[in-house]
Chains A and B, each alone.
Chain A
Amino acid sequence: MNTIVTIAGLGILSMLSEIFHFKKQLFVLILLGLAAAIGISVMEWDTAYSYYNHMVLIDNYAIAFSVLLMSVTLLWFLMSQSYFKSESSMEAHAAIILFALCGAICMTCFSDLSMLFIGLEILSISMYVLCGSDKLNKRSNESAMKYFMMGAFATGFLLFGIALIYGVVGSFNLTDIATYTGQNVNNLPMIFYAGIVLLLVGLFFKVSAAPFHFWAPDVYDGAPTVITAFMATVVKTAAFAAFYRLFATCFSSVFTFWIDIIAIVAALTMLAGNILAVYQTSVKRMLAYSSVAHAGYILMALAAVSQSSKGAIFLYLIAYSLSTLGVFAVLNIIHEKKLSDDVSVFNGLAKSNPLAAAMISICMLSMAGIPPMAGFFGKYYIFLAALNSGFTWLVLMAVLSSLIGVFYYFRIVMAMYTGKNETTAFEIKGLPLFFLVLSGVLSVIIGLGTNFIVNLL
Chain B
Amino acid sequence: MSKDLLYILIAPLIASFLCLLIGKDGVKKFALAISSLIFLFSSHIFFEIGKHGGSVYQMTYPWIPSLGISFKIGMDGISFLLVILTTFLVPLIILSSFNREIKTEKSFYALIFLMQFALIGVFTALDGFLFYIFWELALIPIWFICLMWGGKDSKRITLKFFIYTLAGSLLMLVGLIYLFLQTPGEHTFDIEAFYNLQLTSSQQSFVFWMMFAAFAIKMPVFPLHTWQPDTYTDAPTQGTMLLSGIMLKMGVYGVIRWLLPVVPNGVSEWMGVAIALSVIGIVYASCMAIVQKDYKRLIAYSSIAHVGLISAGVFANNEAGLQGAIFQMLSHGVNVVGLFFIADIIFNRLGTRNTDELGGIANNQRFFTITFVIIMLGSVALPLTNGFVGEFLLLNGVFAYSGYAALFAGLTVILGAVYMLRSYKAIMLGDKIISNEKFAPLAASEKAVLIIVCAVVIITGVLSQPLLEISEPAVKNLISVINR
Contact = CB atoms under 8 A, between A and B. Distances in A.
A407 B140 CA distance: 15
Interface stretch (A146-154, A178-186, A215-223, A365-373): A365-373
B178 to A, nearest CB: 6
B66 interface: yes
B294 interface: no
B325 to A, nearest CB: 28
A372 B133 contact: yes
A379 B288 CA distance: 40
Interface in A440-457: 450-451, 454-455
A406 B140 CA distance: 13
Contacts of A392: 174, 178
Contact of B154 (A376, A380, A418, A454): A418
B33 interface: no
Contact of B171 (A399, A406, A417): A399
A371 B170 CA distance: 11
Given A354-B107, A396-B174, A417-B144, 4 more contacts: A372-B133, A406-B163, A451-B65, A454-B64
Interface string B154-192: 110011001100110011011001101100000000000
A403 B154 contact: no
Contacts of A450: 64
B98 interface: no
Nearest to B206: A392
Interface in B171-228: 171, 173-174, 177-178, 180-181
Interface residue tally of chain B, by bracket? 20 to 34
A454 B63 CA distance: 13
Contact of A371 (B67, B132, B163): B132
Interface string A402-434: 110011001000100110000000000000000
Given A450-B64, A454-B66, A410 B144 contact: no
A396 B181 CA distance: 16
A392 B210 CA distance: 12
Contacts of B180: 384
A388 interface: yes
A305 to B, nearest CB: 16
A275 B419 CA distance: 43
A296 to B, nearest CB: 16
Contacts of A451: 63-67
Given A399-B170, A403-B166, A384 B177 contact: yes
Contacts of B107: 354
Interface in B29-81: 63-67
Given A387-B174, A418-B147, A399 B65 contact: no
B469 interface: no
B148 interface: yes
Nearest to B150: A418
B63 A399 contact: no
A300 interface: no
Given A403-B167, A451-B64, A455-B66, A370 B154 contact: no
Nearest to A351: B104
Nearest to A449: B64
Identify which of A370, A371, A402 gathers the most chain B CB atoms within 10 Å of its CB. A371
A395 interface: yes
Contacts of A399: 167, 170-171, 173-174
30 contacts: A354-B107, A365-B140, A370-B139, A370-B140, A383-B173, A383-B177, A384-B67, A384-B181, A387-B177, A392-B174, A395-B174, A396-B174, A399-B170, A399-B171, A402-B166, A403-B163, A403-B170, A406-B162, A407-B163, A414-B147, A414-B155, A414-B159, A417-B148, A418-B154, A418-B155, A451-B65, A451-B66, A454-B66, A454-B67, A455-B66
A395 B181 CA distance: 14
Contacts of A410: 159, 162
A400 B210 CA distance: 13
B174 to A, nearest CB: 6
A278 to B, nearest CB: 12
A368 to B, nearest CB: 9
B70 to A, nearest CB: 11
Interface in A20-76: none
Nearest to A387: B177
Nearest to B62: A451
A450 B133 CA distance: 14
Interface string B236-253: 000000000000000000
A337 to B, nearest CB: 26
B384 to A, nearest CB: 44
A396 B170 CA distance: 9
B66 A380 contact: no
A380 B173 contact: yes
Identify which of B64, B107, B137, B148 gathers the most chain A CB atoms within 10 Å of its CB. B64
A406 B181 CA distance: 28
Contacts of A372: 133, 137
B133 A388 contact: no
Nearest to A383: B177
Contacts of A370: 136, 139-140, 166
B139 to A, nearest CB: 8
A406 B132 contact: no
Contacts of B167: 399, 403
Contacts of B162: 406, 410
A395 B87 CA distance: 37
Contacts of A371: 132-133, 136-137
Contacts of A455: 66
A130 to B, nearest CB: 37
A402 B147 CA distance: 21
B34 to A, nearest CB: 22
B109 to A, nearest CB: 15
Contact of A406 (B66, B148, B166): B166
B181 A388 contact: yes
Contacts of B66: 451, 454-455
